[in-house]
Amino acid sequence: MGAMVGVYGFAGKAVRMTLAGVLAAALTLQLAPAGVADADASPPPTEPGASASPAPTEAPPTTELPAVVPTPTATATEPEAASEPKPEPSESTLPTETPRPDALAQAAEPITVAPGNLRAFSGKSFEESLTITGGTAPYTASTTDLPQGLSFDPATLTFSGIPTASGSLVTVKVTDSSQPQQTVEAYVYVDVATYWEPSVYPAYGELPPGYAGFPDGVVGRHYEVPLGYTGSDRENITVGVVSGQLPPGLSLAQERVHSVPTSAGTYHFTLRVQDRYGFRDKSFSIIVHELGMETAGYPVPPAVLGEPYSAKIASATGGVAPYVFGYATRRHFAGGLSSSDPGPDGLFMDAHGYLTGTPTRAGSFWIRVYVRDGDALTQDIFWTTVTVLETRPPDTEQPIEVNPPVDAAPPAPPTAVLPAGTIESSSGAGLTDVELAATGVQSGRLTITLWSIAGLLTLGFVAAAAGGRRHRGGRSSA
């Protein structure tokens, strides 16, 4: 009976040891920190291991040293011979030196004569003065080679008269009052030009002077037209309204007519432009409309010589229908004659804003597109370039894409090469060392732990089996 109790006690101890081993292994897997299986795990090769370094100690405060003032180095000089002080000479004993006359001449500034160019007009009264600086005033001046009709007053240094011939280079001889005297010769060019009366014109678009009037305005819409001037004495031109009136709301300045018109209608006025020699009156008119148009312009593709063409180039809304679209080329002023630059012959504007037709001239043409509505309001839309090619460019063929045969098997996907230390999962995805670290155990330590658990279980079963055999042997002997 005692033997049976001993056998059962031994078997119970074996079972308890086996259960304790399994529990210990489970706790080891559960409580191990992520990525670390035991305390001596070395860091992964990609991360440098932490090296112990002494804690930084706070440096003691440094006290500023007083600035060192450099001492001046003594320069070795020969000692002066000791001598008795000499009495300073009095003013009466100092020798007096009389300056030489040429020293005074050298101290005086050189004589200059200005201006070097004068402008006069044939048949017009002329009066201009010279300015002399440097030397010592008063001055004595004389001239030679004066233009015909002009005289020179030496007391006032003034040219005056009515020139009747071409200009010339005048020699001016000046003598000052210094001792000794300075004498210089300067040259002044007196240009005698033909006189042209002044004139004013609206510098609108690219039309030559005298060919353009003021464009129409719209009530409530900003209006601005620059002014241009012609004539010989443009530097001294002034302008003003001498009769009629500008549209209400508009103002006249030296450079432009501008502001916002407030009343519709047709307004006539006369501008007087004046210079130093005369004036000229010129009449203009401005039409102000009650309604305006909203316009838009569009760039157009190139046309081909001799081929039909149609492209939208402009649009307009508002105003008074119907609309008439058109284009004009720039005009230039050459030799007093007005001419027009060539345009895209064969193309015209239709009522819907299309540039259409069959071009008969090749080239690139700079044109101004405009529109006129039923109220005779003309508005510029924009300047643009129309290109007409000599021949149509060759079509650029796109390469034909060859499709793969329908019955062709698709290429096998490339076999992924798993990195070292990766375990293939049942789903086909590989688990790397980093992913296994999420289980709490590194891949290298996991195998050792599993084998330890298996060994403990085996020992438990062996012990239980041995205890059973002994129990059966003791019972049979009894």
Instruction: State mean pLDDT over 390-401.
Output: 70
Most trustworthy range by pLDDT among 43-52, 58-67, 141-150: 141-150
Q: DSSP secondary structure string, 337-367?
A: EEEE----TTEEE-TTSEEEE---S-EEEEE
Who's near 439: CB < 8 A, 6+ residues apart? 29, 446
**What are 420's two structure tokens?**
């070292």
Domains of the chain, with CATH numbers? 109-193 (2.60.40.10), 199-289 (2.60.40.10), 293-389 (2.60.40.10), 421-448 (no CATH)
pLDDT tens string 309-332: 999 999 999 999 999 999 988 765
Q: How confident is the model at residue 92 (pLDDT cuts 50, 70, 90)?
A: very low
pLDDT above 60 for 119: yes
In the prediction, which pLDDT does 37 show?
A: 43
Q: Of the given ranges (74-83, 239-248, 286-295, 384-393), which has the lowest mean pLDDT?
A: 74-83
Give kind and range of the element (H or E) at residue 114: strand 112-114
Is 201 within 8 Å of 227 (Cβ atoms)?
yes
The 3-class SS string of 26-43 reads: HHHHHHCCCCCCCCCCCC
By CB atoms closer than 10 A (0-12, 13-18, 19+), residue 190 is buried
Which two three-digit tokens encode residue 367? 């044109």
Max avg pLDDT among 199-208, 241-250, 451-460, 467-476: 241-250
Cα-based angle 39, 41, 47 (whole degrees, multiple of 5): 130
The pLDDT of residue 437 is 44
- Average of pLDDT values for 54-83? 45
Q: What is the pLDDT of residues 454-469, one digit of tens each?
A: 677 677 666 666 666 6
pLDDT average, residue stretch 288-309: 95
